[in-house]
Every structure is written in C-alpha cells, then in structure tokens.
Amino acid sequence: YGCNLTSPSRPKYWRSVKHNNPVFRATVDSIKGGRAVLCLYGYSNQQPDGLSFPDDIIVPDVEKVAAVTLEVMTLRMELDMLIKDSHPHPEFFERIIPSLCHQGATLIQSDSMLAIDTLVIPPEERMWERQPQFSLSLPLKPSLSPGPAPTSLTPTALTSTLQAASCSLCGSAPSLLCPPCGSIPLCESCDLVFHGHPSRASHKRECTQVQRPDNCTICGIFPVSAHCPTCVQRLCSECDRLYHSHPGRTGHSREVVTSNKPTKTTSSSPSMWHCVHCTTENEMQEVLCVSCDRPRLAAAPIGLEETLQPSTITEWQCKSCTVVNAGSSILCEVCERPRLATRPPPTPVRPAPLVTDLPRDRDTPGTQWVCQFCTYANPAFATAVCEMCDLPRPDPAPMPTKHLPPSPVKEAPSPPIRPQVPLTEDPDWKRQRLMKDEGQRLIQLIREGEKKGVSPEEVYTSVCVSGGDGISPCDWLTSELPHMLDEICAMATSVRQDYKILHSGTPTESPTTGAGGAATDGGVRLSRAEAKQAWLSAEGSTEKAVQHVLRERRAKVRELCSLGFSDVSRCEEALRLSGGEIRGALSLLQRPLLEPFHQRIWSDLPEPSIDIHNPDKQRVCRRLLAVYELPSWGRCELALSLLQDPGAQYTLEDVLQAVRESHDRDFIRRVLAKECPICLSVFPHSKMQSLTSCQCSVCCDCFQQHFTIAVRDKHIRDMVCPVCWEPDINDPEHLNSYFSTLDIQLRDCLEPEVYDLFHKKLTEQALIKDPKFLWCSHCSYGFIYDGDQLKVTCFQCRNSFCAQCKKPWESQHTGLSCERFQSWKRENDPEYQRQGLAGYLRDNGIICPNCRFQYALSKGGCMHFCCSQCRYQFCSGCNNPFHTTCTVAQCTVTGLHAHHPRDCLFYLRDWEPPRLQALLQKNGVAFNTEPPHGTQAGLCGVVEQKEEGGRQVDSPCGAQTQPGQAGLCDKHYREYLVSLINGHAIDPASLFNPNEVAVACRRYQVDDRRGEAEDDRMYYSRLRRKLIEDVPLGDKVPRKK
C-alpha cells in the first residue's frame, strides 16, 4: 500500500481499501494494528465496507507515507531477523514481545547444559525499555511455562520436554524440530508455513516421537485394518485384499487392527475459530482460513472418505461431487453447488434387509456405485437413482467372478444367525423406472410422427385414445381420426339442434354430415379442422371436444358480429370454409363488400377525377392519401382546404406539389402565387423558371421566349437572365459552369431547331478559344488552321492573309518576316507613306484578347471596347477586362470598370505631348514630329469606331491637326507616343511628381508610411523606388516582339 501511494502512477482506486480484498485480509487485517498503519497512510474515513481517504484530500502526503512505509519495512526486516535468531540486539524487543524473555530463559537452560556462561543484564541497566515502544502483536512463538531453570538436562530429558511441549506457533501437538532455528517445536501445518520463507527453505527438520494416526503402508491414505507379521506390513482392507491375493502370500495370517481416532478439541475463545485442516486459529470475521484458504464450515479430514485438499487458489475441489474446478469459478462445473458449500447430508434410506453374512463396512469396495454423470459415490443399498444429479444408475455389466483362496486372517466370532427376509423392490424406484420407459417410448413415437408430418400433440392424443393396443399412432390417425372427427361434427350439430328445439319448440329433421364435416341442413356447420383442434384440446375426449368446439364457434361468431357482420348464418359459413380461422372468415365476408372496388381497380376505364366538392371529406382525403401518396392525413386535409378556397384558383397538381414540400399554409400560399417580373402574371412556383446564376424567377413562357430570341438574333453572350442580366460573361469560370447548366434547362423548353442553333453557337464559342483558330482579315469568317506556312487562304472568301501579322497577303511578303515586310512597306508603298502615322495606328489597331479578332481602329476616345465577334469587353489600351463583379478584394467600385496598369493609355493620355516626348528622349526612343510628304494637312485621318444612328460605324477622325504632331490631332498623337512607350516597355514612374507617386501607391496598395526623420525628397524617392520594384508594368499591354 505504501509503494502504491508513493508511486507517480497510482492505481485507479487508490483512495479506498475494501475489507473483503484478499490482499487486505492477508497483509493488513491478519496483523493486530494493521488498520492503524493504514490510518497513518491517510485512510482515516471508516466506511461500512472498508477505509478511504477524506474527500478534501486530493493527493496523499507522499513524505509521510514514505516515512511510515520505511518504518514498516524496517520492522519487517527486524522481525525476520528475530525469527531466524540472527538479530544482534534481540533484547530491544523483550518489552513488546514477552516470549523473547522465556526464549532467553530456555536458551540459558541450554547454555547451562552445555556449560557455557552467560552474562545477564540487570533490568535497571536496560535503558531502551524506558523508551516508548510501538506496540504490535505478532503470531510469534508462545511462551513456555515459567519456572526455575534446571542446572543440567540430559538429552533424554530434553527430548521428553520437547515432546511434552506444544507447537511454538499454534500451540498444538508438535511433530517436527528444526535445529537451525533453535530446535523450536512445530506441527506439520505451521512447519509448512514457517519454512516456506526462502531463507528457511533449506532447513532440515527432525521428527519427534509424537503418536500420529497409523495409515496404510502402501496407499498411505486409509487407516490400518490388518497387520501381517510375516510381511511386516500394516495395511488397509482394500490393500490387504489386493496385496495378499498373490499366490506367494495367500497363506499369510493377519491380525485385525482397530484404529482409535483422536477426539476433536474446540477453541476456548468465542471470538476465534480453529481450522479443522491446518489447526490455525482464525478470527471470527474470517470466512476462509488465512493459512490454507479452506472455508470455515468445511468438514474435518477423515481417513477413508476424504483427503486434504492442497492449499492453493488456482483450483478447488467440490465437497459434493469431488470435481476439481478452476480457482476463478464460484460454482461447481458439474453439480453447480457453490464453492463454500459443505457436503450434503446423506439421504435417509430404508433399513436394509438383514442377512446372515458378516456386516461389511459401507466404505468397503462393492457397497458403493459411482454415478457416470457427476462422479458422485452413492451407497449401493440406498437407491438406483443418483443422490446428486437424480439420474438413474446404469445397469452394471456382469463382472467375472474370481475365486480367491480363503484368507487365513483370524475371523471374529460370527454373530447369531437371523432368519433371511426376502428382498422387496422399492416402489419409488419402480415408479420412476416405469415413467422412464413410457417417456422413452413416447419420444420414439413422436420422432416417427415428425418424419411423417404428424405433430407431437396428435401423436400424444392418439396414444391416449387408442390406449396403446399395438397400432401405430400414425396409422391410427390416418384410419380412425376422420371418422372420429365426423362423429364430433355430428354430435355438435345434434346438440345445437336440441338447443334450438328446446327454445323454439319446432322440431327439425335429423341432420346428416358430409365428407367435409358440415351439416347439410340449416343447423350449425363445422369443419374437420375445427373438430380436430377441439379434439386435441380435449386430449381425445369426444364429449369435451364437442363442448369445446361449440364454445369456440359461439365466441368466434360473436367476434365477427362485433366487427359489423350481423348475419349469423353467413358468419358460420365463413368460419366453416376458413377452418375456424377468424382472419380467413373475415376475408371471406369482406370480399363481397370489396367487389365494386376490385372491379374499378382492374377495369380499363380511366381513373375518375377527384371531386373536391364532394360532401364526404373523409372519402376525398382517403383518395388523396392513397392515390397521390401524401406524407400524412393532415397534409391531405390541408390540400383539400386549399383546393376548396373560393378566393384562389389552384390546380390539383400545383397544390399537391406544394403540400408535399411544406406544411405551412402561408408559405404554400406564397409558393402558389408567384408573380412573373416580365409579364406580371401570377403563377405557382412549379410553373416558374430560374437560372443558377441568380435568384430571379420568370414564368415558363417568358423564359422560353427570351432564350429563343437570344439564340436566333443575338450573340451567345447575350443569353443571360432577362431580369438582372447575370452572370458576368467576361468571367471564364462562371461562363463554363453557367452554360453547362443552361444547356440542361434549354433542352426541354426550346424547339429542336432553336436548340440546335444554340449548340452551334456554343461550339463556335469553344472553337474561338483554340490557339490555332484564325479570323479572316478580309471577311468575318473564322476557322482552325493546322499548317505551318504564313500564307493562309480563307475557306469562305478564298482570299489570303498572313497567319502571324493578320495583314492581307502580298507577294513581297514571301520570304520576309512580318517586321521586315512592314519596314519595306513603309519605305516603298506610296499609299502607306501618304497615310503616315494614321496608317501606322491602323496597322497597330485593336486586337481582341479573347478571340484575337483584329480591328483597324485607333485606341483613342473611350477605352471601353466590345468585340463584335465574341462580345468580350476590355480596355483597348491594356487589354484588361471590363466587368461589374470585381475579383479584387480591396476594390470598392461597384459599376462597370477595369483595373489598368500605370503605363496604360487610360492614364498616360492625360500627359501633355512634351512630357511624353521627354520620357521617350530619356530612354533613347525616336519619334516623328512632322507629317509625311504628300499628305493633306489640316484634318486627322485616323479611322475610329463611332456610333451613328444607333449603330457603330468606322470613319476618319476629322479633328484639327496641330504643328509638330506629325499630321495628327492631339488625341491621336498622344496615342502614337504612348504606343511607342508601351512598345519599348518604358516605365513612366520615373517622371511621376510627388502627388502622382502618392496616388499610384494608394491605387496599387503600396505601403506609403513615412519614416522617422525623413524629408519629402527622400520620402517620395523611396516610394518611387518601391513602386517600381513591387508593382510591375501591365502584362497584357501590347509590346514589341
């Protein structure tokens, strides 16, 4: 206990100690004062079944427990040294162990016998006895009777003294002496416990001359009953019979020996009890002996009947049937008696008849028989049934008799001969034997009947009726039972008719029964099945069967009448046809009532519609519940009330679908009255269509009409919600998922030719995204080109163009790259030279980043451009998309917008031309300031997209030109300079003023916090460098390849 409490990993239930714990009983409660040591540990709360720590103590006091544990271990070691007489100062313990004083006196006597002087310490010099001692009583050696020590003892006198003394531990008669332990006397049980210690296991003990019970020299178990002087053997009766059956020992004469059993002594202390096996004295609350673990009420060991059980807890022997069971089992595996139960008292038997032979002992061979089921030894003269398991004794096989020569043992004088009484058979045994035979015969008949499909009840009843006259029950049931059943039916009919005559006074003719057991007149009609059931219930009695079948018939008729069938004759006929079964008769009686229902179900006519105005609401609700499979009866009543609402015109299908989804009346009314935002008509929710990209709902007609017009007359990107115009077509992820679900919705609502056209446009939209897709520069036809040549011929207009620069093909382009061909054209083509920078802007026009369709237009004016081929909306300066749903988390703009880089024309068009020219000069890029020769000055000729009359047209700019701007207007000259800046990837941040630097940093989320002791020049220089390093230029801005 101390080690467990001081361990870091204490046991789960360390807070309490139970009194019935084997460890507690063996190590604590067996020592006086052991509970006081547990109180020092902390187990101070006294419980009904043990000890426990107080509730306010969370963990034990480890230091205090360790100190007490150390004291206990030290005391244990010193006591072991005292027991082995190896303690250097045994006189320290004479005060608390008085037996040490008497042991010292005995040692003084031995020393005086051996002429050895001993120094005696006076009591007044024993200073240790004045100190307080910790009292602990131990089961050590009891003190010998005090008296004057003789001066000398002879060995004979010493031996006689030891023989007269008692065991030094338990006080019983000693049988062994241990010289290494100081020749202390011990009995066999105490010697087994005392020398079980590892340090004393090698001690050699000497036997004393104490008289012990004389057992057989061969088996050593049973007491001696004969002594053979010739063989010098003392044998029991069985060993004597076997041993002297040898031909060489048949002439030996034996003497009869009578054994005297020692009388038992009882304990003088009422609070203690002695174990009859090991003679250990135990306290009254102990159930098992602390030494041998035997129960308190166990019988004493008797030589012939029982042997001592080994004191082990791994297995135990049943006191009733002598079977050895596992130590963990509580009940015996054979007789199921508890472990602590004693042997049951012998069953009182009738006096056996007197015989003239010599009386044999009950324990001698031949007077008992062993049960083969539970191995219990029963007396042969008592009964033929086992006293333990109540099973019969098997018939013994005839044993071969062996004629042995007569034993020359001196025979005792024979008793007077009494007249022999004839043996009488036990009536109880005879009755049990008869019951067993009859039961076995019935079981055999039942097994035969089961093989032929006959129930055990029929077999038993047929045996009772036939009386076992030699006929097989199965044959009797086949030949005789039908006639008996017909007789029961006839008797029941006659009894019923006599009852009617008695009460009505009208005689009727005698009825006759047919083969089915039914009466042919108007009387009661019975079936053979009913008669057979009544016959089995009456166990074959005909009169009781008639009464039973009439009583059952009246009860069944009353039950059918209580269910609504008042015609008694029809009820009885239904019972006859169903064999007396209520369920079958009910099915027969209900069949005519269900005939119209069956005809309506199996007819080919259409199902009649539900009349919601039918006054029988229960009938209407039943039809709704059965036909339309509504969840509950309450939903049926709700649907009927909605259909009967005079203020609303709902169809049955709409109401049923809404009722299946919800049980809330207000919610159902809202679902059934949805307004279309296009045509403003009211429809139920089931007749409304909605897209997955938004929450808008339109009626099915408007949904079909909108998408039909969009497919026929508009672009594929115009096929969005007609109410909110979602989703954003510029988002490719939303576009793919949107069209995949829209395809499923349009499959059922569009006409076939319109749906095919939708698929064609959807396929073209997917082809445009292919990297090998090319648009013809002469017409609006597009196709996929797999070749490697620059010259490509359109399949539609049969004109050729360059696959790389998308310019119309000319013969001079053959063998030249696109850049060299463009340079040659600027130098040699008069028309190109006449156009000047306007032609340059046209050649470097707008290219759609989505479908790569090229427009020979300038980028000036509105930067928002919408591709006419794919309807992609983008910035013509940086090619970034325009959208309404921005993907940038920090963006606060909610309308249509795009995010432009700092070198986009969207920002640089606000710079003055001299500032743009200074940026180009700083980076060493040349630019034009004078118009080409032969060009008409005054008006700008750059072609741009304009909106005229509600449509977009391409026409020259026509604005006034300025000197020094190469024959272009101010807007297009700035576009020309920005195209050079973008082409050479020049960063305009190098010319940003402080205000522009701060605005750009805020626009692109650059950290603009000012440092400590940092002036404006250093601050803006650091921001400019950080802007250039952290925010790159636009990745979609057109650059020179």
91 with 142, same domain: the answer is: yes
The residue type of 396 is: P
Q: In terms of domains, do 24 and 126 share one?
A: yes
pLDDT of amino acid 1005: 83
The band of 517, judged by pLDDT with boundaries at 50, 70 and 90, is: very low
Residues 137 and 18 in one domain: yes
Q: Is 818 within a domain? A: no
Which residues neighbour 266 within 8 Å (Cβ) at sequence distance 6 or greater? Answer: 274
Lowest mean pLDDT among 404-418, 472-486, 769-783: 404-418
Least confident of 294-303, 306-315, 779-788, 866-875: 306-315
Residue 708 structure tokens: 């039909």
The CATH number that applies at residue 200 is 4.10.640
262 occurs within a structural domain: no
Judge if 42 and 186 occupy the same domain: no
Q: How confident is the model at residue 118 (pLDDT cuts 50, 70, 90)?
A: very low
Q: Which domain holds residue 391?
A: 312-349+363-396
**Coil, strand, or helix at residue 166?**
coil
**Strand, helix or coil at 253?**
coil
Weakest mean pLDDT among 16-20, 292-296, 476-480, 692-696: 292-296
- Examine the domain organization and report whether 490 and 472 are in the same domain: no
pLDDT in tens, 716-757: 778 888 888 888 766 666 777 888 888 888 888 889 999 999
Domain assignment present for 806: no
pLDDT above 70 coverage of the chain, percent = 75
- Angstrom distances, CA of residue 268 to CA of 249, 273, 274, 525: 51, 9, 10, 88
> Per mean pLDDT, which range of 63-72, 165-174, 404-413, 636-645 is the poorest?
404-413
Phi-psi domain of 481 (left: phi exceeds 0; alpha: psi -120 through 50; beta: other)? alpha
Residues 6 or more apart whose Cβ sits within 8 Å of residue 435: none
Catalytic residue from among 724, 797, 862, 891? 862
Output the DSSP codes for 898-958.
Answer: ----TTSHHHHTTS-HHHHHHHHHHTT-----SPPTTPPPSB---EEEEEETTEEEEEE--
- State the distance between the two ends of the chain, measured CA to CA, in whole angstroms: 90
Q: Please give the pLDDT value at position 521.
A: 44
**Residue 558 placed within a domain:** yes
State whether 141 and 29 are in the same domain.
yes
Among candidate residues 735, 753, 768, the one where a domain is terminated: 768
Same domain flag for 455 and 491: no
Hey, is 698 helix, strand or coil? Answer: strand
Q: How confident is the model at residue 260 (pLDDT cuts 50, 70, 90)?
A: low
Query: CB burial class (10 A; 0-12, 13-18, 19+) of residue 624?
Result: buried
Residues 552 and 467 reside in one and the same domain: no
Say how many C-beta atoms besides its own lie within 10 A of residue 976's C-beta: 24
Cα separation of 362 and 935, whole Å?
A: 153
- Number of separate helices (H) and strands (E) present in the chain: 32, 29
Residues 61 and 146 in one domain: yes
790-799, 838-847, 971-980: lowest mean pLDDT where?
Answer: 838-847
Please indicate, yes or no, if residue 140 is contained in any of the structural domains.
Answer: yes
Question: Are 10 and 142 in a shared domain?
Answer: yes
Q: What does pTM read for this prediction?
A: 0.36
- Nearest-angstrom CA–CA distance, 772 and 785: 6
Per-residue pLDDT band for 515 (boundaries 50, 70, 90) equals very low
Top mean pLDDT of 209-223, 392-406, 685-699 is at 685-699
Which domain-ending residue is among 574, 597, 620? Answer: 597
Same domain, 42 and 119: yes
Q: How many CB atoms lie within 10 A of CB 396?
A: 8
Residues 6+ apart with CB under 8 A from 577: 527, 584, 585, 588
- Torsional class of 174: left (φ above 0), alpha (ψ -120 to 50), beta (otherwise): beta
775 vs 794: CA distance, rounded Å:
9
Q: Is the pLDDT of residue 713 over 70?
A: yes
855 belongs to a structural domain: no
* 890 is a domain residue: no
* Nearest-angstrom CA–CA distance, 903 and 992: 12
pLDDT band at 839 (very low <50, low <70, confident <90, very high): low
Number of domains in the chain: 8
For residue 967, tell me if it sits in a domain. no
CB atoms within 10 A of CB 586: 18
Phi and psi at residue 788, to the nearest 5°: -110, -5
Sign of torsion over alpha carbons 862, 863, 866, 869: positive
> What pLDDT is recorded for position 249?
84
How large is the average pLDDT for residues 624-634?
A: 87
pLDDT > 50? residue 509? no
Task: Supply the pLDDT for residue 134.
Answer: 37
DSSP-based three-state secondary structure for 3: helix
pLDDT at residue 516 tops 70: no
Letter string b/e over residues 309-320, b meaning 16 or more CB atoms within 10 A of that residue's CB: beeeeeebbbbb
Cα–Cα distances (Å) from 548 to 105, 477, 536, 537, 556, in that order, read 99, 20, 10, 8, 12
Looking at residue 163, its pLDDT comes to 44
The answer to whether residue 866 is catalytic is no
Tell me: do 29 and 106 sit in the same domain. yes
Please, what is the angle between helix 582-590 and helix 568-577, to 10°?
120
Rg (CA), the chain: 61
Q: pLDDT digits over 940-963, tens only? A: 777 776 666 666 666 777 788 888
Q: What is the pLDDT of residues 154-192, one digit of tens each?
A: 444 444 444 445 787 777 778 788 888 877 888 887 888
Half-sphere exposure for 472 (CA within 13 Å, toward CB): 11
Identify the domain boundary among 155, 177, 195.
Answer: 155
Question: What is the pLDDT, as a whole number, of residue 590?
Answer: 92
**CA dist., res. 868 & res. 639, Å (int):** 54
SS3 per residue for 286-300? CCECCCCCCECCCCC
